[in-house]
Amino acid sequence: MQEISFPISSRCNLRCPSCSAEELLGKNKAQSLSLKFCEKIFSRIADQYGTNPTILLYGYSEPLFHPNILGVLDLLQKYSLKGEISSNLNIPYNIAGFLSHPALKKFHVSLSGITQEIYTRGHEGGKIQQVFKNLEKIENHPDASKVNIKFHRYNDNKSDFIQFSEYAKRSSFQISPIVAIHMVGWNYLKNFIHSKQCTLPARSKKVLPRLIYSDIWKSSTSKIHADIPCPLQESTLFMDHHGDIYTCCVTGYAPELLIGNILKDNAEDIRAKRARLSICKACKNTGFHADRVLKEALYNDPDPECPGTIQQNWEKFLAEDSWDKSNPIYLYGAGWASKLLYHLLTEKGIRVLGFIDDDVSKQGKTLHGLKIFSPTEFDIQKVPDAEIVLFMIISKEKENYLKERFYQQYGKRPITFHEYLQI
């Protein structure tokens, strides 16, 4: 398990059209969790899942409404856990007071524009001035590099994104452009997955015309590779503020999707229940999970003026003449993204020889029957015509470092897969 979502507050101050929080949170009384209850949850996580998972202290809500963020982080540290916070930054808050806390890995900021007109389309009820007031207070903070701006890309906010990117360069903030998606809610999704007649929620009218890739919400999915593993099922545990565990963050807190409770059910029982879920099988049979994963994975920082489709971009990559498709390849990384890419490549007859990963817990093991090498153990000279493919390297700095490192070691730079998918 890589991530465990546990929202420490069930209150949200915005009603973003793309989010299903209103349907989920509107039925429950808004509350912030007591430190006593948080400690129970963190103790149980450490006992059942160890200290490796990152605890996401948010989910369909605004965590900064919690009155004691420092106390929550202290409890994480007590159990040797690390956490992340994601905020819309629309309330005045002294973020500097907890930014340096050793238990805080990342502080994410959700953003969709820098002009009020554009921003309010994605963050309804929000004030962009307040967001910038909060950011200005920490732009020179010693730990400002912990701040990650998740800039949601729509087809009408390219200019705002470019301007904000220039601002981000003057600070230590990281910026992660991501393709905006539409959380339609369970009432629609359950019918969609089962190919039944369904009606989109009213808020969809505000979202769909703005999406860069909206074809996922057509009457049927593209049925792309139903055998591709679902990254959410494998790597993420999705809880509400009661500690109840649900299928995934896409489906939300629907009662029929309740799997168990972290304080009552052990990790093995939860894994077994998740493996038997009929809704997960139905989702995978439609290819919905793969279609969604591909959109989010392959289109990091797209050009809204000419977005293309999955099929068009995939064909463009295969037609690229800068590398020989008859050469075998090694994939850098042995996570869910490389699992997905393995399926896509092998289906086209491209031979994958193995994986390379920095994670010592994966090294020496196998994936799809192929060995996972450490970067120091790996020797491309044994297969001199092989190529190395990087996929889903989130940090540009790390990507550049890996390109240079492999060039120095092996005299060739790796193929950066997602770069070929920019049209």
Spatial separation of the C-alpha atoms in residues 313 and 179, rounded to whole Å: 15
For residue 256 the two structure tokens come to 């029929």
pTM for this model (two decimals): 0.72
CATH of the domain at 396: 3.40.50.720
pLDDT exceeds 60 at position 241: yes
The tally of domains found in the chain comes to: 2
Residue 304 within any structural domain of the chain:
no
Of 243, 167, 162, 177, nearest in space to 212 by CA? 177
Dist. CA 247–CA 46, nearest whole Å: 21
Domain that holds residue 353: 310-421
Select the more confidently predicted residue: 415 or 237. 237
Residue 168 within a domain = yes
Do 35 and 176 lie in one domain? The reply is yes
Whether residue 93 is found in the same domain as residue 140: yes
Residues 258 and 405 in one domain: no
Select from 385, 348, 353 the least CA-distant residue to 366: 353
In the predicted structure, residue 68 carries a pLDDT above the cut 50 = yes
More confident residue, 357 or 127: 127
Reported as a single tens digit per residue, the pLDDT across 329-379 is: 888 888 766 776 787 778 778 888 889 888 888 899 998 889 998 887 877
Domain assignment present for residue 73? The answer is yes
Q: How far apart are CA 421 and CA 300, in angstroms?
A: 9
Mean pLDDT of 239-263: 86
Nearest to 310 by CA among 322, 286, 292: 292
In whole angstroms, give the CA distance from residue 108 to residue 121.
Answer: 20
Grouping H, G, I as helix, E, B as strand and the rest as coil, residue 56 is: strand
> Do 228 and 221 contact (CB within 8 A), yes or no?
no
CATH of the domain at 219: 3.20.20.70
pLDDT digits over 74-126, tens only?
999 999 999 999 999 999 999 999 999 999 999 999 999 999 999 999 999 99
Residue at 381 is within a domain = yes
